[in-house]
Amino acid sequence: MDAKERENLRLLALSAISAAKGYAVEVQHIRPSLPPRLARLPAEDIEAELLYLEDKGFIEREKKEIAPVVKRWRITAAGRDYLAEEGME
């Protein structure tokens, strides 16, 4: 994946998480928002980009006591602001 594809993946994932309107989503819910080439990436590759967005403060992982292995993310205020500034929300 080149830098442009990585950027597109991050933006599309952020938009997909934003579309959930505050609900936490899993990777499988993000895939339909991605173009076929990116949707075929292994979950670990997509999760690595979600971790980047999490480190930037644009999304946060849902805190789970039961089944923490099932990872879900939701958008933060910083993520919503970023999309608004980019004209994507």
Which residue range(s) make up the domain with 79? 3-85
Query: What confidence score (pLDDT) does residue 22 get?
Result: 80
Q: Find the CATH number of the domain harbouring 29.
A: 1.10.10.10
Instruction: Express as a percent the part of the chain with pLDDT over 90.
Output: 79
User: Interior CA angle at 22 toward 86 and 57, to 5°?
Assistant: 55
Total domains present in the chain: 1
> For residue range 33-54, what is the model confidence (pLDDT) as tens digits?
999 999 999 999 999 999 999 9
Q: What pTM did the predictor assign?
A: 0.89
Nearest of 61, 59, 72, 64 to residue 26 by alpha carbon = 72
